[in-house]
Chain A
Amino acid sequence: MLKYIIKRLLAGVLTMVVLITVAFFMMHAMPGGPFAPSEEKNVPVEVLERIAASYGLDQPVWKQYLNYWNNLLHGDLGISYKTVGTVNEKITGHFPYSARVGGLAVLFSLLIGIPMGLIAALYRGKAADLTTLALATIGISVPVFVLSLLLSYLFSSKLNWLPTYGLDTWQCYILPVICLSFNPIAYIARQTRSSMLEALEQDYIRTARAKGVRELMVVAKHALKNALTPVITYLGPLIAGLLTGSFVVESRFAIPGLGYYFVRSISDRDYTMIMGIVIFFGLFVVICNLVSDILLAIVDPRVKLAND
């Protein structure tokens, strides 16, 4: 087990190194740069060059790259070019909002998606199954930004039932969490349904029945454990999907989270912010993947073997 965890950990570190390197050189390949002379702002070239130099941008690229790593290893993501403050402050300041909404969305997705998929599988072909499949198709086909537009239009602008801004009251959470978890619920329900159906057809289910195991236990013990392994594998991508969703949802509902600031720093071309958030998101996803890998190895003893 320890060997397995170390292996996964190393893979995660490698992923981060690649991401940081790719992101760094992409940033440098970008046309213009943050302090390139522009027509709108009439700032003398020398001033711009001095500003660039103060950020170390006049040094050769490889040196900047090493500097970036050096700072990074000291936990320093640099200074925001376009707003006041360091990238670290921005991330620690805004991440909690994202975490609260995102955490609720994860919980909501699992609590709704898994039972939905289970019920659909157990009542295959019945009304509950068909309803689940229809809902899941809607959930997969309707993009998160469309949903957030429609819901905020309907419930906030038209009906005036729910607030559209900020996170001040609990009502504020309803729309963002629904928007964020809509897609994941659909995926989890579909996945649970199909893996449950597959598990129920396995020979070991017949063995369990031949042993005289109660039908409830056949489903809840023998089938469910096997059916949930693909859902655990989905936890990593689920988090990644929530990040994507958070860009839209946080912008739409004016939640001062990281997704919102990511979108803003993109339109501001605030490169250190973009880099910082990309690295932070990357790290976050790598950790989530690691956790889901370890969880999977605990549930399914074959996983460790396959990876050795």
Chain B
Amino acid sequence: MNLLEVKNLNTSFHIGVGVVQAVRGISFDVAEGESVGIVGESGSGKSVTMLSVMGLLPEYADISADSIRFDGREITKLSKKAARAMHGSEIGMIFQDPMTSLNPLFTVESQLTEPLRIHRHMNKAQARQRALELLRQVEIPNPEARLKQYPHELSGGLRQRVMIAIALACEPKMIIADEPTTALDVTIQAQILDLLQHLKQKTKASIIMITHDLGVIASMCTRIFVMYGGVICEQGSAREIFYDAKHPYTWGLLNSIPKVTGKTGEKLIPIKGTPPDMLKPPAGCPFSPRCRYCMPVCRTYMPPLTALSDTHIVACHLTHPKAPKITKGV
């Protein structure tokens, strides 16, 4: 059964010079206990998608969707109060920068026990007990001392562990991790990924991992959505994306991750150009200006979704019968 179902989500921002169409008609679903990855460059709309689902965008954001269902409930129709009751208890979020995501003026204890006291109505002692448990769960040594500390007294890795503990506090059904390792040192990144992997096995929660780095989700996610220019350009199982990708953008992403097994002398190939300006997105395929296989049709029409298997869906004109056959390009 699907835990989260999003149908035709559109999100735009009204800024001084015009309307930024950050997300343009996205549909996806996440099954119970499943972990999925959303991959894309910065500005592709991946974070905005999840923040739209959570209703955490600023007021000037304009969100519309045919439906967003979480755990059988239509959350576009929830009252603010009901939505709040869900946030932090049924859905936990982990953000990119642990340096700024924790409030500098409150202790770890205060910030970690907050969701417990709000949603589980625990008293101070109970919440403290649970907080200690959580800190142990995210493998923070000496949790008693850490509770009394302020965020600035902790290292980046520890802060991110605290963020994860906050997200886990009420045993949520779903955890959204928005670039959880991007702001960290490489060695710390690996530790945090290990921890998430470990927690994924222990908890039954679904995990949505948002990242710009395919390498990060390779081992964690069963399904992957590749986003570009506010649309999903390819989606499929991890195997399909890594070994049988059909979209030139996905090829580009794959070519830009270093491989441990790669032959010496193998080069990383960057994707040329910059993501589209979502104030004026291209009329056709958003990737067309940067795509080396660009055809006239790409500039005129958005590619329709083509299902290649039950799970593998791609939006690219190369799948058209009249298009030249490219097997696996670079």
Contacts and interface: CB of A to CB of B under 8 A. Distances in A.
Direct contact of A and B (CB under 8 A): yes
Interface of A: 202-204, 206-215, 222, 225-226, 229, 299-302, 305
A226 B104 contact: yes
17 contacts: A203-B97, A206-B95, A207-B103, A210-B88, A210-B95, A211-B118, A212-B84, A212-B118, A213-B88, A213-B114, A225-B105, A226-B104, A226-B105, A300-B105, A301-B105, A302-B152, A305-B152
Contacts of B92: 210
B20 interface: no
B102 A211 contact: no
A48 B114 CA distance: 76
A226 B103 contact: yes
Nearest to A226: B105
Interface of B: 54, 56, 80, 84-89, 92-93, 95, 97, 100-106, 111, 114-115, 118-119, 150, 152-153, 163, 166
8 closest Cβ pairs, A-B complex: A212-B88, A211-B88, A212-B87, A203-B100, A204-B103, A210-B93, A203-B101, A211-B115
Contacts of A212: 84-89, 115, 118-119
Given A209-B56, A301-B153, 12 more contacts: A204-B101, A207-B101, A207-B163, A209-B87, A211-B114, A212-B118, A213-B84, A213-B88, A214-B84, A300-B104, A302-B104, A302-B152
B120 to A, nearest CB: 11
A152 B69 CA distance: 66
Contacts of A202: 100
A301 B102 CA distance: 14
B82 to A, nearest CB: 11
Contact of B104 (A204, A211, A213): A204
Nearest to A221: B106
Contact of A301 (B119, B150, B166): B150
A204 B102 contact: yes
A207 B95 contact: yes
Nearest to A225: B105
Contacts of B163: 207
B95 A211 contact: no
Nearest to A301: B150
Nearest to A299: B105
B139 to A, nearest CB: 21
A129 to B, nearest CB: 14
Nearest to B87: A212
Given A203-B97, A305-B152, A210 B104 contact: no
A211 B101 contact: no
Nearest to B93: A210
Max chain A C-beta neighbours (<10 A), residue from B103, B106, B163 = B103
A204 B86 contact: no
Contacts of A222: 103, 106
Nearest to A200: B58
A211 B110 CA distance: 12
A61 to B, nearest CB: 50
A301 B111 CA distance: 15
Given A202-B100, A222-B103, A299-B105, A207 B166 contact: yes
A140 to B, nearest CB: 26
A260 to B, nearest CB: 42
Contacts of A229: 105
A54 B134 CA distance: 78
A207 B87 contact: no
A145 B93 CA distance: 55
A299 B103 CA distance: 12
Contacts of A226: 103-105
B103 A210 contact: no
Contacts of B150: 301-302
Nearest to A206: B56
A300 B103 CA distance: 11
Contacts of B118: 211-214
Contacts of A301: 104-105, 150, 152-153
A206 B96 CA distance: 12
Given A211-B166, A301-B150, A302-B150, A206 B101 contact: yes
A202 B88 CA distance: 18
A204 B51 CA distance: 14
B81 to A, nearest CB: 9
